[in-house]
Amino acid sequence: MSAAISVPETISELAELVRSGNIRAARKLGRKLLKVAPTRTLWVIARIANELDERPHTALAFINHLLETAPSQEDRAIVAACLPEPGETRRTVERSSQRAPHWNSTNKHEAPRDLKTEQRNELRRKARSRQEQADAAGFARYRVDSAGVADGDQVPDRHDRAAAEQVYASGFDYDRAALYANEVPFACLACGICRGRYDLNAARVQAGHGDDMLCGECRVVGCAGLPELVVGHSLADLVTARCSFVWTKHGDVVARALLRSDWRHAPTDAVREIITDYARAYLSAEPPAEARQDTAELSDCVTCGVQREPNDTNAPVADDGQCAACRELAAELDELAAA
């Protein structure tokens, strides 16, 4: 603070200028006070001014309390300069009588009531009658639309059950098939995958004609399976029919590999004995390891010229010099030419 200015004297001089009506000089002096007064002094002045503005009825007691508890003589002089003169009151703005009333929770019971809250009984009866008529009309429309069908769950008839069992696209329900594990002992004759209970032809098995040894998807697409067996056939008849189907379709070499897989996955020892007896009776003896033709001894394919493998000579009775791929291609060309 500048040494030439005393804050208490400046506040007193500022108050005299305001009382005399010299507002211009009071503003100039106030700007000077704001520039030179320290922050603590300005805080004390602002605190007293807020108290006088917001709580005029208790402000005098608050200022007297500050005057008694001021920590220094300088602070006491500042508070004393801000103390209003006896009988001095703040200038207040007179409220206009034309102002619109503001209704709140404390005075809303005094607000004028310009809305009618009573309702005559005949109007209530008319409204209730109109509602009853609307409800009756809606119910009549509902009865016409529903055609007399009762609400709630309906008892399914045979058409509904057939529609529920209908499977779109291929006709094979993969979701239902996934519920069952691979618990059927023999794999599919067409694709070789393991089967579950859902893959069985239930109608054929219940009729007593045995399992066709196909999965559900191969049965849908029309793959060939076991023919129907006679009613009352035994397990030996079913296993023998499977072995005969494999041997007839694939020949000795492939049938031996497939029957060996069936033997490993057979559910009981009795089934293994049936497969073993059939292999001994119908399949040719497997050549010893030293008598098998080695890969290095096989000549290249006479058609494509690639090195042949031992499986390229399994299908024909005599070696024709072709690989398996070229032999299959030649067979397909012969079928197309015959057609």
pLDDT tens for residues 170-181?
556 666 666 665
Q: Which one-letter amino acid corresponds to residue 301?
A: C
pTM of the model: 0.37
Q: What is the mean pLDDT of the chain?
A: 77
Instruction: Read off the tokens for 276.
Output: 């073993």
Residues sharing a CB contact under 8 Å with residue 308, sequence separation 6 or more, in sequence order: 295, 298, 299, 300, 301, 323
Burial of 246 by CB count in 10 Å (0-12 exposed, 13-18 middle, 19+ buried)?
buried
pLDDT more than 70, % of the chain:
73
Per DSSP, 111 falls in state S
Per-residue confidence at 31, pLDDT binned at 50, 70, 90? confident
For residue 239, the model assigns a pLDDT of: 92
Q: What's the average model confidence in pLDDT over 280-302?
A: 62
For residue 1, the model assigns a pLDDT of: 42
List the beta bridge partners of residue 184: 195
User: How many Å apart are CA 260 and CA 252, to the nearest integer?
Assistant: 12
**Coil, helix or strand for 301?**
coil
Torsion sign, CA atoms 231, 235, 238, 240? negative
Per DSSP, 292 falls in state S
For residue 274, the model assigns a pLDDT of: 92
| pLDDT at residue 182 greater than cutoff 80 | no
Domain extents in the chain: 7-82, 168-230, 234-286, 290-338
Q: Which one-letter amino acid corresponds to residue 137?
A: A
Q: What is the pLDDT of residues 187-235, one digit of tens each?
A: 888 888 888 877 888 888 888 888 898 988 888 888 888 999 999 899 8
Of 201, 182, 202, whose CA–CA distance to 192 is shortest? 182
| pLDDT at residue 96 greater than cutoff 60 | no
